[in-house]
Amino acid sequence: MDQAQALIDAAAGRPGDDDADRGPYRLHAYVVLLLTTGIRPEEARALRWDHLDLEAGTVAIWRSDRSGGDTKPAGSRRTLKLPEIALGALRERKVAQAADRLKAGELWQDGGLVFTTSTGTMLDQHNIRREFRQITKAVGLGEDWVPRELRHTFVSIMSAGGVPVEEIARVAGHKQMSTTELVYRRELRP
């Protein structure tokens, strides 16, 4: 939990990282969303504003940037209630994106995506990994982490908190509980 909070703080540009005056990383809301909901990185990259209801506090996970646009597996389409920290980060993201849009002017490509470059195009997974490594380095976790590990962390934290594996599997979009138990969950305590 301490490492997860430190990661969120570093992504937000809060004191404790090397460049606290710089402000939040472009991936701040991305990190918070993956860490607090367990959605897949490819689901987050394809997330559109019309799949979010910031008033109701929900996100509909219906697509991904995988070939064909389906979630993995297709049956893992789901609507999730968002925690307050994710709602706050997404609201900040919306404001930052509006500033990007104004700055980009005619170069802006509006695809309705939540996580975009400064010109509105989908973030490339390599760019995401590069910035994510900067965040993990800033918090002292090294540079070997990849965004998918946020999903593993989410599952492990939920498990350590006593959430039944059936519920974790449902939220994570796993077809079978064995995937949640054997692939994603890491014991956080002896």
Residue 117 tokens, joined: 């470059």
Instruction: For residue 14, indicate whether it is catalytic.
Output: no
Kindly name the residue from 26, 28, 93, 174 that is annotated as catalytic: 174
Instruction: For residue 66, indicate whether it is catalytic.
Output: no
Give 3-state DSSP helix, strand, coil % of the chain, rounded to 5. 55, 10, 40
Kindly name the residue from 28, 45, 151, 185 that is annotated as catalytic: 151
Kindly name the residue from 72, 81, 103, 186 that is annotated as catalytic: 72
Instruction: For residue 152, indicate whether it is catalytic.
Output: no
How far, CA to CA in Å, does 186 sit from each of 90, 158, 182? 28, 10, 9
Kindly name the residue from 25, 28, 30, 40 that is annotated as catalytic: 40
CA neighbor of 158 nearest in space, from 136, 124, 184: 184
Kindly name the residue from 28, 45, 184, 185 that is annotated as catalytic: 184
Contacts of 143 (CB under 8 A, 6+ apart): 133, 136, 137
Instruction: For residue 126, indicate whether it is catalytic.
Output: no
Q: Kindly report the backbone phi and psi dihedral angles of residue 5, in degrees, each rounded to the nearest multiple of 5, phi listed first.
A: -65, -40
Instruction: For residue 101, indicate whether it is catalytic.
Output: no
Query: Which residues are known to be catalytic?
Result: 40, 72, 151, 174, 184
